[in-house]
Amino acid sequence: MTGSEAAPSFRLAYVPGATPAKWVRIWNERLPDVPLTLVPVPAAEAAEVLRSEGADAALLRLPVDRTTFSAIPLYTETTVVVLPKEHLATAVDEVSAEDIADDVVFHPLDDVLGWDELPGRPALERPATTADAIELVAAGVGLLVVPQSLARLHHRRDLTYRPLVDAPQSSVALSWPEDATTDLVEDFIGIVRGRTVNSTRGRTAATAQPERGRPDADRARRKPGPGNTSGKKTKKTGGGSGGSGGSRGGRRGRPRQR
């Protein structure tokens, strides 16, 4: 280093199934001078990548340690069962655990659903990855239950999927270290939340002051003329075509109230 500061950049980690493309496109339009680097990470390693400063923020799967990380939940996925196209369950629009009770259901080591009890019959061994489990499903050995985005990610022509009712679901969130909410992180939060390019964010007291001072300015514009030095609005008295409108004349023209 020669004392000059490094050019700004932003690193966004994302887990399999997360789709940051739309937000990256908006980032490139709004901040063309700040490159955004995508960092693909396994779901189980996303939090550690943030902790070790391998990324500025991440699209990851909940839960996340809220004592260490901030998180904005983005969406919850439909859970589906991946099965061969000739499977009997393809005849229905939704599948229940009872429909696949006699099938082997794989539980890969990188599972993201956190089952209390997996449906179907357990396999003799757990596949190392979701990709390995997909290969076994294609071979007709069993079925696989995953978030819908992972079923799409590992799409094959000989496989399909159906929603699985009463199954745990996976939620995707934008997360970043609690003590590292930088301006660039705030910029990405704004994009994810749909703020327009002109939206205000993090307004300081100094910039907000003119708005708070606006009623005083309005009163200054309504400053009374030379004939009303008290600053109070003159009451309209009298009936219409009377004299000059002085207060005594107004009292003469008003009928006495009992």
Assess whether pLDDT exceeds 70 at residue 44. Answer: yes
Neighbours of 133 (CB within 10 A): 29
The strand pairing partners of 106, in sequence order, are 144
Of residues 227 and 191, the one with the higher pLDDT is 191
Of residues 92 and 1, the one with the higher pLDDT is 92
Assess whether pLDDT exceeds 50 at residue 206. Answer: no
Domains in the chain: ranges and CATH: 10-76+171-192 (3.40.190.10), 79-163 (3.40.190.10)
Quote the mean pLDDT of the chain. Answer: 83
Predicted confidence (pLDDT) per residue in 171-190, tens digit: 999 999 999 999 999 999 99
pLDDT of res. 188:
98
pLDDT of res. 240:
42
CB 64 within 8 A of CB 188: no
Ramachandran class of 69: left when φ > 0, alpha when ψ lies in -120 to 50, beta otherwise: beta
Backbone angles phi, psi at 202, to 5 degrees: 60, 40
Task: Give the C-alpha distances (Å, rounded to integers) separating 201 from 182, 191, 209, 241.
Answer: 13, 11, 15, 57
pLDDT (average), residues 24-39: 97
Of 4-18, 21-35, 47-61, 188-202, which range is least confident? 188-202
pLDDT of res. 230:
45
Instruction: Give the integer Cα–Cα distance in Å for 31 and 10.
Output: 10
Predicted confidence (pLDDT) per residue in 124-159, tens digit: 999 999 999 999 999 999 999 999 999 999 999 999
pLDDT band at 79 (very low <50, low <70, confident <90, very high): very high
- Pairing type for strands 159-163 and 79-84 reads antiparallel
pLDDT (average), residues 8-26: 96
CB 131 within 8 A of CB 154: yes
